[in-house]
A and B are shown apart, each in its own frame.
Chain A
């Protein structure tokens, strides 16, 4: 057993850290303020480091290390989050690299060839599009239909709170989202199919919401009226969409946790530095245990979660190379744990840090308030609500008796 990064992983980490500290960190506040997306030179810088290619095979323009895709992705997202505490750039990045991993895994050859080289080059946004106005937690009851006709899935319905509408429009085709639609209404969640919806098809329109945070990345709703998605956009098998999307969420949740923990790590550093400098009643603030012990509590959680996150990223990769090693439940529990606890830790670190900074912490001179606004997106629900994570763990620990997702009646 070895708990260290390999030489290659460590070199990659150092490279992303160096680049992001120099090029991204000084721009983060502006990105949050401008609400105009991630600047092109930032995206290009990440492309040059290979960040957008970590989950994409070399023959499709990426630089994936088989079995270690999510480990490299996690490293990159963690470092990017440290530099942009608004969470705009890390989330922009994690969506595209996380869902590209899934397009590569489940996509047809034609779809992979169309989408992945563009994603690796930073020229396409790839997201996830499952939430509907009727709810995001209960995916088995979604309403958007995609009945098959003439070699197409014909979409009708509505999706809501989905990241990336402006980004899809800015980058153009083949940007789009992995999505879940009803292809057979008679069979419940077995009638759901996972498809890639290119954002630029006829019959698709979108709106943008005004969010609380993460202002460099848009969120909005999508309306489908007889939009025809070509058959080659199928992901996995028809009728198995529910299971495929859950696998996708596990990958994405690794990266969500990486973003929150990268932010928490940096937030704690900011707090430690400030409370060491700031003197009150003749001593530095950090000398008071009310301050340092609270920071220690946060640090202990951070350290444990980082370890568990590594374990989750490693398990997914190991299972992909050695199928049958871990059960789906083994992986679910580890991933749900980090997705449940990391956003809350990030929020707490930001909130605690703001308190140590006093009134200064309430201004936009520190990045803590934008960290708080950004990370909360992952508490209220993005990539799965916290109670949904608890429900997954209850179900996978104690079986149907404890499954909150399946009604008895």
Chain B
């Protein structure tokens, strides 16, 4: 089974300071997306369970420098090969442009049975790229996978919906996105870190994929990315602990949060 995992490098969100309600993006280190690491781990486990399989890490970025560490990290985790799509035109792309690039890259890679994504990226978290790629390739997609096994029509997937778990099967090739509960990504050992540099890595530009820079240009403009502000109710409960508990239950009932 040939498994391609899409991985994204984002800014280390924990290192970002907020000044005047804007993030300060200067000199922030890059980090491999958290959910992408879950996807890599899922791919590795599936590869080892199925046997005679390989895992290719695929990433898209405007510069080689940005993704160098990410690629080494996922190769050190155990991916067999890496494909980088690097092009300055990707600096100002959006989810649609990234999806177009990935789909073109997958077509150039040619043979793939499964394409894995995180359910969303650690920074934008739009959750669009996986589904868009599936549409562009015209293959089935299953989102929010919490368990993946080879079987059924090709792949058997348990997926986490808010209130229930659904089990689906899909023929191959298929696109899956995974949730964080699917596994705990492994931390690479020094031995594997040192081996990572020797694994086959390809680097392609948009031209290599037959894509015009205009095809990946962003069609969206970000006006603001502030979180929605919520008004607090500022209800203070009086009395001792017992009275306060009763008051809290009443208030929650009134809001319809309890006793639905």
Interface residues in chain A, defined as those with a beta carbon under 8 Å from any beta carbon in chain B: 7-8, 10-12, 15, 18-19, 48-51, 53-54, 58, 63, 65, 72
B194 contacts A15, C-beta separation under 8 Å: no
**What band does the interface of chain B fall in when counting residues whose beta carbon is under 8 Å from A?**
10 to 19
Chain A binding surface SS class? helix
A54 contacts B190, C-beta separation under 8 Å: yes
If A7-B72, A11-B76 touch, whether A63 touches B187 (CB-CB below 8 Å) is no
Residues of chain A lying within 8 A (CB to CB) of residue B196? 8
B189 contacts A63, C-beta separation under 8 Å: yes
Instruction: Provide the bound-state CA to CA distance between A72 and B193, in Å.
Output: 12
Could you list some 9 contacts between A and B, CB below 8 A? A7-B69, A7-B72, A8-B196, A10-B69, A11-B72, A11-B193, A15-B193, A53-B190, A63-B189
Instruction: Provide the bound-state CA to CA distance between A361 and B76, in Å.
Output: 41
Tell me the smallest distance from the CB of B237 to a CB of chain A, in Å.
26
B187 contacts A8, C-beta separation under 8 Å: no
B190 contacts A49, C-beta separation under 8 Å: yes
0/1 string, B47-82, CB within 8 A of A gives 1: 000000000000000000000110011001000000
Residues of chain A lying within 8 A (CB to CB) of residue B69? 7, 10-11
Residues of chain B lying within 8 A (CB to CB) of residue A53? 190-191
Residues of chain A lying within 8 A (CB to CB) of residue B189? 15, 48-50, 63
Instruction: Provide the bound-state CA to CA distance between A8 and B192, in Å.
Output: 10
Tell me the smallest distance from the CB of B184 to a CB of chain A, in Å.
10
Residues of chain A lying within 8 A (CB to CB) of residue B188? 11, 15
Tell me the smallest distance from the CB of B135 to a CB of chain A, in Å.
35
Q: Is B210 an interface residue (CB 8 A)?
A: no
Q: Which of B215-249 contact A (CB under 8 A)?
A: none
Q: Max chain A CB contacts within 10 Å: which of B72, B188, B193? A: B193
Residue ID in chain A nearest B190 by CB atoms: A50
A8 contacts B191, C-beta separation under 8 Å: no
Q: Is B151 an interface residue (CB 8 A)?
A: no
A63 contacts B190, C-beta separation under 8 Å: yes
A8 contacts B73, C-beta separation under 8 Å: no
Residues of chain A lying within 8 A (CB to CB) of residue B187? 15, 18-19, 49
